[in-house]
Amino acid sequence: MMSCRFVFGAILAFSPVAVRSASDQTAVLPAPATSGPATSGPAAPTPAAPASAATGPGNQDVANGIVAIVEGKPITVDDVRREIQPLIPQLQRDARNEQEYYQKLETLKEDTIQNLIDRELIVKEFYKKKEGEDEVRHVPASYVDNSIAERLLTEFDGDRSKFLAYLRARGITMRDFRKEVEEDIVLSYMRSQQRKSQSIVSPVKIEQYYNENKDRFNQDDEVHMRLIQFTRTEGETDAQLLAQAQEMLVRFKAGEKFEDLAKQYSQETRRTRGGDWSWNKRTDLKKEFSDPLFALKKGEATGPILLPEGCFVLYAEDRKYAGIQALDEVRTEIESILVQQMTHLSQEKWLERLRRNGYVSRRPDY
């Protein structure tokens, strides 16, 4: 019987490394390429072998091999390969040597098989008739049609011939593809229902998380800066630049918005955005800017700052002071973290229940 490593090596062919299986068949393992003798140092990635190397006649039986049966539906080696294949180049780049590559490949393979098993169990759960319901749930045909139309546009540039070539390459019919799309919709719906059930977090839990993780909410001194630049033209004096800046500041002090004045006066690239330079730490700016800017309070502007290239006026749109952020400032962030944690835990419990109640037969050598 073929080992797991042989099977997936045969299907995910990369740098040719000939090996022998227990049945004395030669396969191509997906190993990181090296130049010269193998070493434990970083391996230089090489391009993937052509798809034909992975799915040629010698590998067809392997590709059709059954990894697991879930509620009567088989999951094949080819199903797993199709999920893994796009991730292999990144896996090659990340692996420092051949041993690490195979370890990562094994983990990825196990996760992929489990995800495919869970997918079938979730789809079955959706179509199961619930107590008290008159009808079995279904996905409207229009939903499937719209999803296929969107994929045709985004994945195949609206070219139906490319789409049909894709179906032929996979050896599936349009009916098979519609079924896959329908199951994708079901999967998305069922997972969203699980998330929705965990969308409320009590204020007590938020405060508890804040008190236990205050170090996570430590922030540097920052200013949300806007800037107006008066660019020095040839022969223009400091006095002329200062006069332009003072004219603008008079209007600012009279109540006009700095953002609007920047659109009118500023001569730098962000003038159309009201001179918005977003959030800046002291270390992000030159000293001529950081010293006067960080002396401002929210809503204040500096005086004119003369430099060889021109004259500048800085404005503090908002301030963040160094230290632990107040609970009210991070409440939304904490709520999002806790919702993610609760959703993950809830989904794991839900999947464990589906796995216990479903019929799953897994090949031990895969």
Mean pLDDT along residues 77-85: 89
Mean pLDDT for 55-61 is 43
Q: What does 142-178 look like in DSSP terms, one character per residue?
A: HHHHHHHHHHHHHHHTT-HHHHHHHHHHHT--HHHHH
Q: What is the mean pLDDT of residues 50-78?
A: 66
Torsion of CA 212, 340, 354, 108, to 10 degrees: -100
Q: Are 258 and 226 in contact (CB under 8 A)?
A: yes
* Top-confidence residue, 349 or 33: 349
In this prediction the pTM is 0.51
Domain-embedded: residue 226: yes
* Confidence at residue 346, expressed as pLDDT on a 0 to 100 scale: 85
In-domain check, residue 188: yes
Q: Has residue 187 been placed in a domain? A: yes
Say yes or no to pLDDT of 6 above 70: no
**182 and 252 belong to one structural domain:** no
In a domain, 145, yes or no: yes
Residue 223, amino acid: V
Phi-psi region of 231 (alpha: psi -120 to 50; beta: other; left: phi over 0): beta
Say if residue 158 is in the same domain as residue 85: no
pLDDT class of 38 with cuts at 50, 70, 90: very low
Same domain, 266 and 315: yes
Band of the pLDDT at 45, cuts 50, 70, 90? very low
Q: Containing domain of residue 150, as a range? A: 141-196
Q: Are residues 42 and 102 in the same domain?
A: yes
Give the DSSP H or E segment for 317. Answer: strand 310-320
**Does one domain contain both 166 and 273?**
no
Q: Are residues 179 and 250 in the same domain?
A: no
> How many angstroms from the chain centroid is the CA of residue 92?
19
- Examine residue 349 and state whether it is found in any structural domain, yes or no: no
pLDDT score recorded for residue 51: 41
* pLDDT for residue 25 is more than 60: no
Domain edge (last residue) among 321, 344, 360: 321
Give percent of the chain with pLDDT exceeding 90: 52
Residue 63 has pLDDT above 60, yes or no: no
| 136 has pLDDT over 70 | yes
Rounded to an integer, what distance in angstroms lies between the CA atom of residue 210 and that of residue 332? 11
What pLDDT score does 35 carry?
40
Q: What's the chain's average pLDDT? A: 82
Under DSSP, the state recorded for 297 is P
Do 78 and 147 lie in a common domain? Answer: no
Per-residue pLDDT tens for 249-268?
999 999 999 999 999 999 99
Domain presence at residue 338: no
Over 60: is that where the pLDDT of 14 sits?
no
Q: Domain tally for the chain? A: 3
Based on the domain organization, do 192 and 95 belong to the same domain?
Answer: no
B/e letters for 42-72, b = 16+ CB within 10 Å, e = fewer, are ebebbebeeeebbbeeebeebbebebbbbee
Question: In this structure, is residue 296 part of a structural domain?
Answer: yes
Domain CATH for 241 = 3.10.50.40
Rounded CA gap, 204 and 208, in Å? 6
Task: Give the other-Cβ count within 10 Å of 316's Cβ.
Answer: 20
